[in-house]
Amino acid sequence: SPPAPTPPSPPAPTPTPPTTDPGVGCCTLNYKECHENAFCNENISQCNNECDKEWLADGPQSDCQALWTSCSTDSECCHTGVCLNGQCEKGSAPAPVPTAHPSTTPTTSPVPPTPTFSPSSSPTRPPVDLQMFSTDATISSFEALLKFSELHYVVQEDPPIYSVVAEGGAAGNDVVSEGQGYGLLISGITLASMEANDPNRNSAMNLFYGYFNAWKRMAELSNNEPGHCQDIKFCNGGNTACLPGWKFTKELNVVGTGSAPDGDADAIAGMIFGVKAVANDGALPDWFDEVSQWADASATQFMYHSTVASSSGQNRIVKLGSCWGGWESNGNNPSYHSPGTYRMMRDYQDQFSGRNYGMPNFYDGLTMYQRWDQLISTSYKYLEAAQCSDVGIVPNWLTVAENSADGTLYARGDSFSGSGTPQWEFGSEASRTLWRVAFDAATYPCESSSASDFLEPVHNRLGSNFGTSAGSPWPVETLV
Kindly report the backbone phi and psi dihedral angles of residue 151, in degrees, each rounded to the nearest multiple of 5, phi listed first: -85, -10
Q: Which residues contact 244 (CB under 8 A, 6 or more apart)?
A: 177, 180, 215, 218, 219, 221, 222, 259
Centre a 10 Å sphere on the Cβ of residue 356 and count the other Cβ atoms it contains.
12
Respond yes or no on whether the N-terminal peptide bond of residue 159 is cis (omega within 30° of 0): yes
Do 279 and 287 contact (CB within 8 A), yes or no?
no
- pTM, two decimals, is 0.73
| Percentage of residues in the chain having pLDDT higher than 90 | 65
Nearest to 47 by CA among 7, 125, 103: 103
Res 8 pLDDT > 80: no
Sign of the alpha-carbon torsion through 79, 83, 87, 92: negative
Q: Can you list the positions of beta strands (E) in 344-456? A: 400-403, 408-411
Q: Considering only residues 390 and 273, tell me which one the structure prediction assigns the higher pLDDT.
A: 273
Quick check: 68 pLDDT over 70? no
| pLDDT of 295 higher than 70 | yes
pLDDT reading at 475 higher than 70: yes
What span, in angstroms and rounded, lies between the C-alpha atoms of 106 and 94? 23
Helix (H) or strand (E) holding 347: helix 339-351
Least confident window among 61-65, 186-190, 205-209, 434-438: 61-65
Please give the single-letter amino acid code of residue 258. G
Rounded Cα distance between 466 and 103, Å, is: 28
- Phi–psi pair at 273, nearest 5 degrees: -55, -45
Answer whether 132's CB lies under 8 Å from 458's CB: no
Among 21-30, 92-101, 410-419, the least confident range = 92-101
User: Which pLDDT score, from 0 to 100, does residue 102 have?
Assistant: 34
Rounded to whole angstroms, how far apart are CA atoms 386 and 423? 12
- The sign of the torsion formed by the CA atoms of 223, 343, 285, 149 equals negative
Q: How far apart are CA 125 and CA 285, in angstroms?
A: 48
Helix axes 368-386, 288-305, angle to 10 degrees: 60
- Of 368, 381, 209, nearest to 299 by C-alpha is 368
Write down the mean pLDDT value for the chain.
Answer: 85
Long-range contacts of 364-372 (CB under 8 A, 24+ apart): 364/309, 364/313, 368/300, 368/303, 371/303, 371/316, 372/303, 372/342, 372/343, 372/345, 372/346
**Proportion of the chain above pLDDT 70, given as a percent:** 82
77 vs 65, 73, 458, CA distance in Å?
5, 8, 29
Which residue type occupies 103?
Answer: S
The SS3 of residue 366 is: coil
361 CB neighbour count, 10 Å cutoff: 7
pLDDT of residue 360: 96
Between strands 400-403 and 316-318, the pairing is unpaired
Tell me the pLDDT tens digit for each residue of 383-415: 999 999 889 999 999 999 999 999 999 999 889
> Which is nearest to 142 in space by CA: 100, 83, 202, 84?
202
Q: What mean pLDDT comes out for the span 329-350?
A: 97
The CA distance from 104 to 340, in Å, is 28
Report pLDDT for 51. 57
Dist. CA 408–CA 328, nearest whole Å: 14
DSSP 188: H
